[in-house]
A and B are shown apart, each in its own frame.
Chain A
Amino acid sequence: MASYIAKRLLVIPLLLLVFSIVIFFLIQAPPGDFMTTYSAILAGSGSSMDNEQLNLMRVDYGLDKPMHIQYFRWMGKLLHGDMGLSLLYMLPNTKLIGDRIGLTVLLAFFSFILSWLIAIPAGIFSATHKNSIGDYFFTVINYIGVAIPNFFLALLLMWICYDLWGLNLVGLFSPKYEMAPWSWAKIGDLLSHIWLPSLILALGGSARLTRIMRANLLDELGKPYMITGRAKGMSEWALVMKYPVRLAINPLVSTIGNYIPQLFSGSLVVATVMNLQNIGPLLLQALSMQDMYLSGSILLVYCLLAIVGTILSDMLLVWVDPRIRME
């Protein structure tokens, strides 16, 4: 067990190395660099920079060096915990990302919890009341939940709230707390805002989970150990909750590994639509402005978060299933 965890943990740096090369290649690929975009923006706003100045800045940021040198410079800094400077914000990337990473993880975490809290009871109900009205109700909701794209659901809800109550559901904080330092009141404010994007994100995932849970549980409900349990004299409810539900959840745990990267993907889109201060909108901005070190760092952070999530889910699976644990 311990060696298994160690093995999984050792893979992380290796994976990150692979990702860093791919990501660096990706952010380098577009023609031109930040300076080109930057001067275009300056030109657009009326002022300009001559070529000499631009080239000086290029040398300053090391943009004139060959690609592999730039990569090693970037990696060297990364290893020291320095993600470079955002050319767009003129701020260290570490700070930009650090400010928003907590909210990114929090949003994903909340939606993860929500999707399980919805899916497990709904799946149990659907399976134990197969072909009842409630089962059909959940089935319809599930089909719609899978079919509706995250961002469209966000748009719809924002529109409905605006149209009916004049609410503008944007951001994670009330204007009052936007810039305020962290306090209990600010956390309360955050919690009162974060549930909606979490719910939007959770819906698609919970629809899939409910379907898996229902199918798994239906499978388990027909297993011979159910007869054993009934013949023991267990009450139906206790029996269902103890054995089949427990067994039906196991394969569900193995889906977490795929679900977590999806959550981060979804949160990126929803955050952009609802203008949430997580790293999603920052990435979009950085990519469109060719702020290469910022986008590279964010991409790497996304990969790291997803890998850690996947490994945590693997460990969870080992923990819940003795058949895997004992091997």
Chain B
Amino acid sequence: MTDQKPLLSVRDIKVYFNLDEGTVKSVDGVSFDAYEGQVLGIVGESGCGKSVTMKSILRIVEPPGKIMEGQVLLSKRDHPDEYLDLTSMNEKGKEIRAVRGGEIALIPQEPMAAFSPVHTIGNQIIEAIMLHCDVNKKEAREICIQSLKSVGMSMPEKRVDSYSWQLSGGLRQRAIIAMAIAGNPRLLIADEPTTAIDVTTQAQILKLLKDLQRERGMSILFITHDLGVIAQMAQYVVVMYLGRVMEKGPVDSIFHDPKHPYTQALLRSIPSAQKTTKIKLPTISGSIPHPFNKPKGCPFHPRCAYAIKGKCNVNLPSEYIVGDQQYVSCFRYEKSEVNIR
């Protein structure tokens, strides 16, 4: 995997929101690579900048949000060695619109609200197909029905003409996935795709995504706050906190050998089915600071048990290599090699 060129490379991206009350640094220097055929998980508490990172990849950050720095590179479909710089494209231009849906598709958070209630789902999926494939309306409808069938929807010929509010939560999510894969993208960004649906349906949807990914050789960028889902889905995990990457590494290393105090604390706060000791489930002390009052230095230091005064609250740690493909941003590892890219 090390020699392979990444499909998508996010490099030191910074997204700031300039509000009247001050600047919110939603994403403050995030880097990671996604490889072909890989499920990359991004995990973090709400408000850590996961969704904004996703939006900055697609260049759909809403004003007043602005990408201040950094690059999002996408390898070309025909020449995998060459890269498109998405950040340099015009936000409303044709180039980026060809990427959205065509190369990188999105499965949004709320399946209910993601569809317009006054247009049929068919209408909305066909629209996506016609934007990226050179087909007429009739052919697009065929593709749409095929697509609905491939996400396991029964009676796709009938369902294509129904409205989103006529479908159950699970079916709606399937329709969303059908729309996302209809443009034949290479990367699927799933933004908390299972938060809004019940647990049994959630398992079905996760299985569907995994199957689709395997069949089509797609990559998936899986954004969630649910560590269990990440463990089940992802091969590589990026842990974010307050707009920064705390730690990233292969899923096994992250779960069995976490290095960053935040990752460690996060994992400890998962209830375990095996442990029967009646001790209180540890929580991470303190709460997430208000975005305007982001602490100086390492964002986690106010809640960190290992914080070193005069260091952690002053400087930002670099990314240190702590294992195979495992990087961590913490001064506890400053004797290790710095990850230079």
Contacts and interface: CB of A to CB of B under 8 A. Distances in A.
A233 B132 contact: yes
A232 B92 contact: no
A234 interface: yes
A247 to B, nearest CB: 6
- Residue of B118, B119, B163, B166 with highest tally of chain A CB at under 10 A: B118
Contacts of B163: 322-323, 326
Contacts of A246: 116, 118-119
Contact of A230 (B58, B132, B176): B58
B18 to A, nearest CB: 14
A129 B237 CA distance: 40
Interface stretch (A171-179, A221-229, A282-290, A292-300): A221-229
Interface stretch (B77-85, B107-115, B241-249, B323-331): B107-115
Interface in B151-167: 163, 165-166
Interface stretch (B97-105, B255-263, B301-309): B97-105
A234 B58 CA distance: 12
B128 A232 contact: yes
Interface size class of B (residues with CB under 8 A): 20 to 34
A233 B118 contact: no
Contacts of B132: 233
B183 interface: yes
Contacts of A250: 118
B127 interface: yes
Nearest to A323: B117
A236 interface: yes
B127 A227 contact: no
A235 interface: yes
B184 to A, nearest CB: 12
A317 to B, nearest CB: 12
A321 interface: yes
B147 to A, nearest CB: 13
B106 interface: yes
B34 interface: no
A89 to B, nearest CB: 51
A168 B183 CA distance: 64
A229 to B, nearest CB: 8
B113 A224 contact: yes
B131 interface: yes
Interface of B: 55, 58, 60, 92, 97-102, 105-106, 108-110, 113-119, 124, 127-128, 131-132, 163, 165-166, 176, 179, 183
25 contacts: A224-B109, A224-B113, A224-B114, A225-B113, A225-B116, A227-B108, A228-B106, A228-B108, A228-B114, A231-B101, A231-B105, A232-B101, A232-B131, A232-B183, A233-B98, A233-B100, A233-B102, A233-B131, A233-B183, A234-B131, A242-B119, A242-B127, A320-B118, A323-B163, A326-B166
Closest 6 CB pairs of A and B: A231-B106, A233-B101, A233-B100, A224-B113, A233-B97, A232-B101
Given A225-B116, A231-B100, A247-B116, 17 more contacts: A224-B108, A228-B108, A228-B176, A230-B100, A231-B58, A231-B60, A231-B108, A232-B127, A232-B183, A233-B102, A233-B132, A234-B127, A235-B92, A246-B119, A250-B118, A323-B117, A326-B166
